[in-house]
Structure 1
Amino acid sequence: MLKQLPKLEYRLSQEASNLRKQAEGMREGIYRDELLRKANQMGVAIQVNYWQQVPAPVPPGSGLRPTRSAMGRFS
């Protein structure tokens, strides 16, 4: 039986939190900056993943419908 993995957003947010905690106790420097940069990248990845899942907005009265690819998993 396959073990269900946590959602991507959860894993990214947990890892970002861990990286920020590691950076918290460090002096300023390249390694600390790298940890914070990676944590911020994970935050952006969470937002991009969310945007990919949200159906594309369609102007009212346009007669257009979002395509399957624009609708993602909500189709």
Structure 2
Amino acid sequence: MRRRSHSHTFDDNLNAERARIIAELENTQPGPQRDLVESKLRQLETASAIDGWLTSPGLQPPEE
């Protein structure tokens, strides 16, 4: 099994992927491929927003 020298947080991974996709967008011409890359970027932004909501200190557990 492969071991990592240091762990990455979910937020770190999202930011790295976001930077990669933004760089890809700069080199992609308008068309179906660019639309797909933009869709991936929107998915990452949604995932980041959900992660921020789930990890917020104001989030309360459900009442029973």
TM-score normalised by the shorter chain: which range applies?
0.7 to 0.9
Q: CA RMSD in A?
A: 2.1
Match of 2:51 among 49, 52, 55: 49
Q: Assess if the C-alpha contact under 8 Å between 1:13 and 1:43 holds in 2.
A: no
With normalisation by structure 1, the TM-score equals: 0.65
With normalisation by structure 2, the TM-score equals: 0.74
Q: Can you give the 5+ residue segments of structure 1 that lack an aligned partner in the other structure?
A: 57-65, 71-75
CA distance in 2, matches of 1:17, 1:48: 19
Matches within 5 A, 1:5-44: 5-44=7-46
Q: Deviations over 1:30-73 (max 9, x none)?
A: 111111110121111011011011123xxxxxxxxx43x69xxx
CA distance in 1, matches of 2:38, 2:15: 13
State the percentage of identical aligned residues. 17
**Structure 2 equivalent of residue 63 of structure 1:** none
Q: Can you give the 5+ residue segments of structure 2 that lack an aligned partner in the other structure?
A: none
